Structure 1
Amino acid sequence: MSGTFFCVGVGPGDPELLTWKAISVLEQADVLVIPVSDKGLEEPVYTDKTDVTMEKYLVQCMAYQIVKEKLPGLREKEKLYLPMPMIKDKERLKQIHDKDTALLLHILDQEKTAAFITLGDPSVYSTCLYIQKRVKKKGYPTDLVPGVPSFCAAAARLNKGLAENKEQIHIIPASYGVEEALCLPGTKVLMKAGRKMPEVKQAVKRRGMEMEMVENCGMKGERIYTDIEEIPDEAGYYSLLIIKEKKG
């Protein structure tokens, strides 16, 4: 017997958007898994609730900042801090993810359940999938707990639908192939578009499209822009764009 590894989507930022299932899984989990992008953490670390030396990683983890408001008891749980650096070196990432998985499997072998918290939904561009696939391949039980995706929450904040009737929806990571993506039919959603903003704005203007943006959706400092001319060139990392053809 072994414990189950859960990947828990906590939504885009507003704690009110946590699902009942996410709350239930997190409350019952033995170990809370914290993804860490800080380069200061080079090896996975498994700690009890009293390790104050790891506090800064909790502060940096946006997913933890969301859930702690509704579930203060999570602070008392054992924690597994996993290095999940934002780099493109595939071989280096493989080595890191393999080490992360090895320590996680050791915990699961103790028949403990572990819950990895992730922004939005775990099935959409989530780093938890790198670990989940490895755990699943080793024959251990895994479970994805869906969360409200950021693009659905952003559309709601803009008070508009993403698509109607036969319209298509395309979800695009803004760091790849923006020009080609804008040629796709229907609604284009560009995620984490902050660094590409000037390039995207110019491309959208050339095509005569409409573009709206929600920055930090559901988080502190949330900003909503309904006119492309209002969107700043220097936007935050959590900037989501919704692009449509102009109508009428």
Structure 2
Amino acid sequence: MTVHFIGAGPGAADLITLRAARMLSSADVVLYPGTYIDAEVLSHCRADTALVDTQQLDLDQILQVLVTAHQVGHTVVRLTSGDPSLYSALAEQARRLDEAGVPWDVTPGVPAYAAAAAALGKELTVPELAQSVVLTRAQARSTVMPAGETLANFAATGATLVLHLAITRAREIAAELAGHYGADCPAAVVSRVSQPTELVLRGTLADIANQVEAADLRQAALIMVGPALDPARVAESYLYDPARDRSLKR
């Protein structure tokens, strides 16, 4: 049997892939992050599937469940919020599974930042304003950030910033970024995107922290910053320019 790492998407039961739904329906054991996904996602599972909420488990305990289930011949799904390529602890779990001789694979999911952009109705890469998106996080009671990966360095590029795992530091982050983007730079926070309790806050770096604190947000929220979120003007893409020579291959 194989352990299947599956992106559960941002939380809504209908924002997972067809492949993910099919794999959930055939799983004997499903481990899921109860903090981040809506319980309705588990409706894709069979009634007799063993469900394990990992929010109170450490890495060793999670791996014990995965390995034990594999050893008795069960089909195992390890759900991650959003997409497994971002902040999912995939690397450390996969390394330990390799050491235990347990095969595994990965099924992608809808990343939370994409769902948040959809909730805002925004394109994060607006021509001549921002053509890059930086996906990062803040460091507090968490793993230390690499030395070069500072908010100042990222902000210097002028790219659209998407910060995960940073909502408890919203005021500090807004103050730091205002020094680079300006206090009037558009900012937004999307909490529990796509779920019944979704909350969208829109503002600027000058006032977004006030909104976060008033809403008492403490987890499961993204902070998004950059001029692309509320462009004063929108340049038109060369890709669809009538003057572009479409006879040439790109």
What are the equivalent positions in structure 2 for 1:132-151 lying under 5 Å apart?
A: 132-151=94-113
What are the equivalent positions in structure 2 for 1:170-181 lying under 5 Å apart?
A: 170-175=134-139, 177-181=150-154
- Root-mean-square deviation (CA, aligned residues, Å) is 2.6
Higher helix share: 1
Match of 1:108 among 51, 59, 70: 70
**Cα 1:184/1:201, change in 2 over 3 Å:** same
Match of 2:160 among 173, 187, 192: 187
Q: Could you tell me whether the CA contact under 8 Å between 1:123 and 1:144 is conserved in 2? A: no
2:194 is equivalent to residue 218 of structure 1: yes
For 1:222 and 1:81, locate their aligned partners in 2 and report how far apart those are by CA, in whole Å.
21
**Cα 1:83/1:161, change in 2 over 3 Å:** closer
Tell me the TM-score normalized by structure 1. Answer: 0.73
Q: CA deviation at 1:153?
A: 0.4
Counterpart residue type for residue 154 of structure 2: A
Q: CA deviation at 1:16?
A: 1.9
Counterpart residue type for residue 221 of structure 2: S
For 1:225 and 1:61, locate their aligned partners in 2 and report how far apart those are by CA, in whole Å.
21
Structure 2 alignment gaps of length 5 or more? 140-144, 233-250
For 1:140 and 1:216, locate their aligned partners in 2 and report how far apart those are by CA, in whole Å.
33
For 1:6 and 1:13, locate their aligned partners in 2 and report how far apart those are by CA, in whole Å.
18
For 1:122 and 1:82, locate their aligned partners in 2 and report how far apart those are by CA, in whole Å.
15
For 1:81 and 1:159, locate their aligned partners in 2 and report how far apart those are by CA, in whole Å.
32
Counterpart residue type for residue 23 of structure 1: A
Percent same amino acid among aligned pairs?
24
For 1:12 and 1:24, locate their aligned partners in 2 and report how far apart those are by CA, in whole Å.
18
**Cα 1:97/1:225, change in 2 over 3 Å:** closer
The DSSP-based 3-state class of the residue aligned with 1:133 is: helix
Tell me the TM-score normalized by structure 2. Answer: 0.73
The DSSP-based 3-state class of the residue aligned with 1:170 is: strand
Bigger Rg, structure 1 or 2: 2
Structure 1 alignment gaps of length 5 or more? 36-59, 86-95
